[in-house]
Chain A
């Protein structure tokens, strides 16, 4: 008996086209072919648009890239960035994939005549697993509907009405699949019916209402509905957000493995390259930037993290991506025609067509939107499909700033400052080197043997010219001197790194400053640099590489940690304050430094409390992207938002590790009226304080 059953089980299968008439089968093949054709056509159109873009190599290190895709697509690793949505997506994604495999199994079994749909495989996978997968899909579907229509998650707003139709089509597929299966199980008296429990239950339920002839009719109707809704969805894939089934893995494969969030450099010597500056039309985007637009899943995670959006400013990174995408889709024919003309060498035709197309900024993406971005990288950090918003925004800014000469007044002033004073600080009351007059600081130009200098201290403009921020530089100098570090500064030879210029789209000025600084650093054969400013760290350490300046740059938090590790600096655990640490965007998300400042603070003996948004998810102070230099009056204040969070931790001191963050925090505290209760200090000011206190204690003991 057991044996026969086992034997029978190993033979288990089902009739594939039960209760169909040839017309239905024909309809199936025809509509499948049509759907496939439409689907391919749709992707082909996308592909043609991507091919309008500029070249860019994004296929080096293929194994590493495949691993990324695997992690993202099969493990859905990127989706744990939001729990409930992640679960919803995983449910729908995996069950959908399983059902897709099931469909393919049927095709292989029936159409190719390779009998794989049988035996235990049939029972466990094709029957049981797929039956459950359908239910799992329903669970995901319900969560999706719930989020979109009942609780109306804000990041999903502005959704396309078509999104609802997609969910409806999915619903039809599931709602017709179970009756089709159930009726067959019941009517044929399939002995393996229990292997498809939900299908069988559906069949039994239907059979309790209708008689067999009716069931057969219902079966046929459902069969056609199931099949057709499938094909409609298939055809719709490239035209709806479902396209991400294809574009997301592609986009992840072609992700940027290099330094993120910085635009490609512009070669100002090359006349061709400067004919259009930044991005004016899709033709200045790379193919990958065009692909990014199609890869967006519209999940809105980026928007949910964006500080500008959070404060009601006219910027949503998701909308930037989608507005560009929609504009390009709506004008695809013209762009494609222009592309053809260009490829055929008909420059005049190309120009004639393009003359009618508006510049993407400010016509498609408004100037206020672009200027609202603080370049904090929160959007890129969270995007599950590795879309790069920041370089795109910056290159659109480049076109505004350099080609259209449009920028906020404060930015213009800062850039003019760079031009004539090599620093962007307006109304500076001191010179660049005044802050260290009374301190033992060596200047590179006066050092006889540059080899003897172990590290160059890059001061940066903020701390050189702002009285409050000078205290950071003075503290770091004292700490380094205590540790016996042989360091020097460039003094008057230091120019602004060009960070402000670059992040505001003023690449021309950035280029000039960067080249001058690289030349100076190379002249002194500088190998290693310490900076207390994360913006200098990023620019010197990463951006300059694009221009051939390779320097090892460490942040002062890393350097102090290093001094401790090597025993050159002993920290007393004497700071008994309650402190919360604010991760600067350019230190954390840009340069991955999260642990060192915390480890050093812990060593100082502080009671460290974390804000809700910390580490990778840290919330911007509002100063980046040039915002330290102009006032963005739209919406609320980002620094206020952040300071409220910091104050809520109950900490008596906010520790920052960036001069601009420090300014923003102090300003924020004043605006929430907490400046008396809560202090803001740079990391190294705390270190210096602790060291000074310890010395003061030791001295009387020594007497």
Chain B
């Protein structure tokens, strides 16, 4: 049984729908079934929704734990996975996945793997691919124990389309976990967004922005994409961006999936900070700017024209 694990809710998130793709592929190759496991508030709603993705079986564990600790979630995920007889448990490699994956594996007596970006079945063996050494290499890995608890990097797989269907949902009682851990304070909302070094998307601006207003545009785009805003030294020097935003030799080293370089020429000192980026998108009015040498996608246009259109396009995409 391939189990997709999630936290419940009215909708399946994009990351969850990507897990559906992985699960379908595996189930096809291994000749097994896909099940859905939801642990959290509104677990049952999510479990029912899973039916629309062709998933026939689901377990919902309604968990409303006030402590904020991850322990009860893990313990109930384990309960659900056991109930479903999981051979593979798929989690999104997000905030929960990062902390729950390995521990769930340990509780189920299985093996863990993080950040899968690909999977295939060869001679009945499941071969997982994950980036290692900061993405400088990819490792093909087989896991020895069952279940395999795997977190999947978002964006690595297509998100499955929703169809129609019904899932048989088992609703289980949550097991209570007495934990010594308690969240006592929470910063509301995502005012700061992710930190530069960790962000999967970084939108950086340079001197080409011509003033602090440009950065508001960048912030808007970054927020839409769940990313962080960066800056070139020139922009920091101009006082349009705080020093903590500086990327490069004397600033931060970033390693996002996408790095937008807007009005940045691409001096080597700046490039020094973005060598870990998977892809650079350069937006510059000068077609000869060196930034295009390292860019995956390039647009030669004044940013004032492109950015509003880009923000609209992204909004449409997200909607």
**Residues in A neighbouring B236, C-beta threshold 8 A:** 631, 633
B275 A631 Cβ-Cβ under 8 A: no
CB of A427 within 8 Å of the partner chain = yes
Which secondary structure characterizes the binding site on chain A? loop
Q: Does B67 contact A (CB under 8 A)?
A: no
Interface magnitude class on chain B: 20 to 34
Tell whether B250 is near chain A: CB-to-CB under 8 Å: yes
**Bound-complex Cα distance A410 to B253 (A):** 12
Contact of A429 among B250, B251, B253, B275 (CB under 8 A): B275
CB of B265 within 8 A of chain A? yes
Instruction: For residue B69, give the distance in angstroms from its CB to the closest CB of chain A.
Output: 35
Q: In the complex, what distance in Å separates the CA atom of A425 from the CA atom of B268?
A: 11
Counting CB contacts under 8 A, is B154 at the interface?
no
| A466: interface (CB < 8 Å) | yes
The answer to the question of A14 belonging to the interface, with a C-beta cut-off of 8 Å to chain B, is no
Q: CB distance A631 to B250 under 8 Å?
A: yes
Whether B140 sits at the interface, judged by CB under 8 Å, is no
Given contacts A429-B275, A466-B268, contact A631 B246 (CB under 8 A): yes
Residues of B within 8 A of A54 (CB): none
Interface string of B190-217 (1 = CB under 8 A from A): 0000000000000000010000000000
Q: From A425, A630, A633, A667, give the contact of B267 (CB < 8 A).
A: A667
In the bound assembly, the distance between CA atoms of A507 and B207 in angstroms comes to 37
- Contact of A429 with B271 in the complex, beta carbons under 8 Å: yes
Interface size on A, residues (CB 8 A): 19
| Residue of A427, A468, A633, A666 touching B249 (CB-CB under 8 A) | A427
Q: A426 within 8 Å of B by Cβ?
A: yes
With A427-B275, A466-B268, A633-B243 known as contacts, the answer to whether A671 contacts B249 (CB < 8 A) is: no
A467 and B250 contact, CB distance less than 8 A: no
A630 touches B234 (CB 8 A): no
Give the Cβ gap from A73 to chain B, nearest Cβ, in Å.
46
Q: Which of A608-632 contact B (CB under 8 A)?
A: 629-631
Cβ of A84 under 8 Å from chain B: no
Interface bits A666-688 vs B (CB < 8 Å: 1, else 0): 11001100000000000000000
A428 CB-CB contact with B under 8 Å = yes
Instruction: Across the interface, name the chain B residue whose C-beta is closest to A409.
Output: B250
- A403-438 vs B: 1/0 string, CB under 8 Å? 000000010000000000000011111000000000
Enumerate B217-265 residues with CB–CB distance to A below 8 Å: 233-234, 236-237, 243, 246, 248-251, 253, 265
**Complex contact A629–B250 (CB within 8 A):** yes
**Most central of B268, B272, B275 by chain A CB within 10 Å:** B268
Judge whether A630 and B275 touch: CB under 8 Å: no
- Give A467 to B233 CA distance when docked, in angstroms: 19
Known A-B contacts A466-B268, A637-B237, A671-B234; the reply to A427 vs B243 at CB < 8 A is: no
Residues of A within 8 A of B273 (CB): 427
Question: Which residue of chain A is the closest to B265 with respect to CB atoms?
Answer: A670
Q: Residues of B contacting A466 with CB < 8 Å?
A: 268
CB pair B233 A631 closer than 8 Å: yes
Distance A667 CA – B249 CA, assembled complex (angstroms): 14
Instruction: Output the nearest chain B residue to A637 by Cβ-Cβ distance.
Output: B237
- The listed residue (A467, A629, A670) touching B268 by CB distance below 8 A is A467
User: Which residues on A sit within 8 Å (CB–CB) of B249?
Assistant: 410, 425-427, 629
Instruction: Say how far B278's CB is from chain A's closest CB, in angstroms.
Output: 15
- The smallest C-beta distance from B209 to any residue of chain A, in angstroms, reads 14
Chain B residues with Cβ under 8 A from A467's Cβ? 268
Closest A residue, CB atoms, query B276: A427
CA distance A630 to B249 in the complex (A): 8
Of the residues B237, B246, B253, B265, contact of A427 by C-beta under 8 Å: B253
Q: Could you write out 7 A-B pairs with CB less than 8 Å apart? A: A426-B250, A427-B253, A429-B272, A629-B249, A631-B233, A670-B267, A671-B234
- B residues with a Cβ closer than 8 A to A are 207, 233-234, 236-237, 243, 246, 248-251, 253, 265, 267-269, 271-273, 275
Other A-B pairs, 13, CB within 8 Å; known A427-B275, A429-B275: A426-B272, A427-B248, A427-B271, A427-B273, A428-B272, A466-B268, A631-B236, A631-B251, A633-B236, A637-B237, A667-B267, A670-B265, A671-B234
